[in-house]
Amino acid sequence: MDGKKLEYKGDEALKEIERLTQQPGLVQESLLKDILIKNHGTEYLEQYMGGSMDVSDFKKVVPVITYKGIYPYIRRIANGEGSNLITGQKITEMICSSGTSAGEPKLMPSIAEDLDRRTFLYNLIMPIINQYLPGLDQGKAMYLCFVKAETTTPCGLPVRAVLTSYYKSPHFRLRPHDPFNDHTSPDRVILCNDGYQSMYCQLLSGLIQRQHVLRLGAVFASAFLRGVSFLESNWTTLCHDIESGSLNEGITDADCRESMAEILPGPNPALAREIREICGAGSWRGILCKLWPRAKYIEAVVTGSMAQYIPSLEYYNGGKLKLVCPMYASSESYFGVNLNPFCDPEDVVFTLLPNMCYFEFIKLGENGTLMLDSDEDKEVPVQKLVDLVHVKLGCFYELVVTTYAGLYRYRVGDVLQVAGFHNKSPQFRFICRRNVVLSIDNDKTNEDDLHRSVTAAKKLLESLDTMLVEYTSYADTSSVPGHYVLYWEMKRGGPPDKTDPARRDSPLSYDDVLRECCIAIEEHLDYTYRRCRAFDRSIGPLEIRVVKAGMFEKLMDFAITRGGSSINQYKTPRCLKSTEAVKLLDSNVEASFFSPRDPTWIP
Ligand code: AMP
């Protein structure tokens, strides 16, 4: 990538988006050509293309793969064989994604210029937002960012989470001052490997600078809410630090202490009192706008599995702050941006940027739930692939990418739907991750089905003035027939508002409401599920296991210690695959409820 492009700012950035989206076909073809020029001599491509650099040869012969297809090469590179097994450039690090393969985090090759591409995309976000909300250069962002401790491969290549890679890179650390990206968190605090200390200091900085904060956020909604929950548990200590002007002794990291010394110059009892009054006033509904009164919006990914956090975000912001979901990216490559950042979360679409990687698409069935193959190992004929410029409005596709760093026709695992066009570039709605399914018999429930069913069922909780904080699921086949288990963590709201009809005391008991939630989920699952359940009897009644408060944070800690994820990237798995994770939740179940009757099923 042309180094100059890093500098695209403001109007230049917007012009570049226009240029790229007006001729996506040309940009894509020349990008693929360039990848083949640079990488045609690699062992991987040679076996299929015999050294050819021809785009049409590539399209004819290079197979569509999953991680299994590239893993043998990744393993050899990790063990010390050259980068040229898969790429013409030097692999500088392995990016560990939040996905796992055989219980281990997936490793994605990354080359130096990938950082340029990621930076390029980041640099588009504020110019896009500025078109709709100018003035954000007049204050700060309290944006929670975290790194995760890195490891190395046997041959010494760093293994990092993608955001850790970016925050540690000169692109981030040595960036020129940008008034649109003036963060309350000092860089050295962001770079602290200890998530607790980093979070504490970032919230402390955000609170001290509360009158300057114009926007709030984190990469994913889950990480932002983790920050709010941390604040709920630690505001008294944070206020104590502000009052006394001295940092809690639990913060031992030298970089954190030094950088916080600049932000916490002396005692500020008045500020501590203000914050105590707000935090100690009872309900936390709308707390974000009280703590950060000038904040205009919350920036976080709220699409896909993150959509379930929207009610919590709205609770804490009192429905006053817009949620901005700025981009779509992964460890394999960054993909695209949301050009209409202040739209409602359900309307978010991403315009894929044709200079990020080579995009292809596997066409899926009519409603997207009908996957071409939910079986990872099933071969996808290359003729089934569609280019970026040939996708059709309304159709569902699975994303396949080819990168400079050595992934060729790699199935990312995301299901997208074409929702419109910007200039000539298609815009996609994120639907779900492929293969996040519950299956007992012929039924195949994907993440989206599950999410829709839970969303419908959780409305019943309103009568108990309770909200669903988090959920995950598990196909319990330990008894016959197997059944779906949903783990729910719930939280009581404020005192019930008796004038609100939705919140009037329910005539049903708590237990009855939970049983009704079970059947409501079943009623919203698809035809095959209901047939298996009510006719074939091959699936037993769905069960909700209510877990103790804080269990999903424990699950996150568990995943972070075990897997390759960091707080930034962590996404609650909608379906548990690890038996240890199931055990962790099972040993903290407060009560369990089963569906009281069969779901409707009409042949
Ligand atoms: P990772 O491999 O850990 O970097 O995670 C990348 C995955 O996160 C993507 O493939 C998507 O499944 C998900 N993801 C990233 N951005 C978004 C977004 N804006 N909306 C929904 N899901 C997203």
Q: Is the pTM value of this prediction over 0.75? A: yes
Final residue of a structural domain among 370, 399, 433: 433
Three-state SS at 405 = coil
Do residues 177 and 234 share a domain? yes
Residues 419 and 197: their CA atoms lie apart, in Å, by: 42
Do both 458 and 573 map to the same domain?
Answer: yes
Give the Å distance between the CA of 401 and the centre of ligand 1.
14
Over range 54-76, report the average pLDDT.
Answer: 96
Assess if residue 142 is contained within a domain: yes
Residues 360 and 446 both lie in one domain: no
Q: Give the pLDDT confidence of 390-419 residue by residue, as tens digits.
A: 999 999 999 999 999 999 999 998 999 999
Those residues whose C-beta lies under 8 Å from the C-beta of residue 115, and which sit 6 or more positions away, are: 165, 166, 169, 171
Q: Which of 220, 303, 330 should be mutated for ligand 1, with most atoms under 8 A from CB?
A: 330
pLDDT, position 603: 67
Q: What is the mean pLDDT of residues 521-549?
A: 91
In a domain, 209, yes or no: yes
Q: Looking at the structure, tell me whether residues 447 and 407 fall in a common domain.
A: no
Cα(596)–Cα(109) distance, rounded to whole angstroms? 50
- Among the candidates 433, 468, 495, a domain finishes at 433
Residues 214 and 233 reside in one and the same domain: yes
Instruction: With respect to residue 343, please indicate whether it lies within any of the assigned structural domains.
Output: no
307 within a domain of the structure (yes/no): no
Number of separate domains in the chain? 3
d(Cα 429, Cα 311) in Å, to the nearest integer?
20
Indicate if 416 and 499 belong to the same structural domain.
no
The pLDDT of residue 498 is 46
Do 237 and 169 lie in one domain? The reply is yes
Q: Looking at ligand 1, which residue's alpha carbon is closest to its atom 5?
A: 330
pLDDT value, residue 442: 67
Q: Considering only CA atoms, which of 411, 592, 602, 408 is closest in space to residue 511?
A: 592
Residue 553 belongs to some domain of the structure? yes
Cβ–Cβ under 8 Å, residues 294 and 139: yes
Query: Looking at the domain assignment, is residue 500 inside a domain?
Result: yes
Same domain, 273 and 233: yes
- Domain check: are 365 and 496 in the same one? no
Domain extent at residue 66: 10-92+351-433
Residues framing ligand 1 (Cβ under 6 A):
97-99, 162, 301, 303-304, 325, 328-331, 412, 414, 430, 433, 569
Same domain, 287 and 358: no
**Rounded mean pLDDT of 273-297?**
96
* Same domain as 564, residue 429: no
Beta-carbon contacts of 559 under 8 Å, excluding residues fewer than 6 positions away, are: 565, 570, 573, 581
Domain assignment of residue 112, yes or no: no
What does pLDDT average to over the chain? Answer: 91
Q: What is the mean pLDDT of residues 461-467?
A: 91
Q: Classify residue 340: in a domain, yes or no.
A: no
Least confident span in 237-246, 458-467, 497-506: 497-506
Q: Residue whose CA is closest, atom 3 of ligand 1?
A: 98
| Residues 524, 453 contacting (CB under 8 angstroms) | yes
Q: How many residues does the chain have?
A: 603
Q: 379, 410, 433 — which closes off a domain?
A: 433
Atom of ligand 1 nearest to the CA of 304: 21
Q: Say yes or no: 448 and 540 in one domain.
A: yes
Task: From 465, 471, 417, select the one nearest 222 (Cα to Cα).
Answer: 471
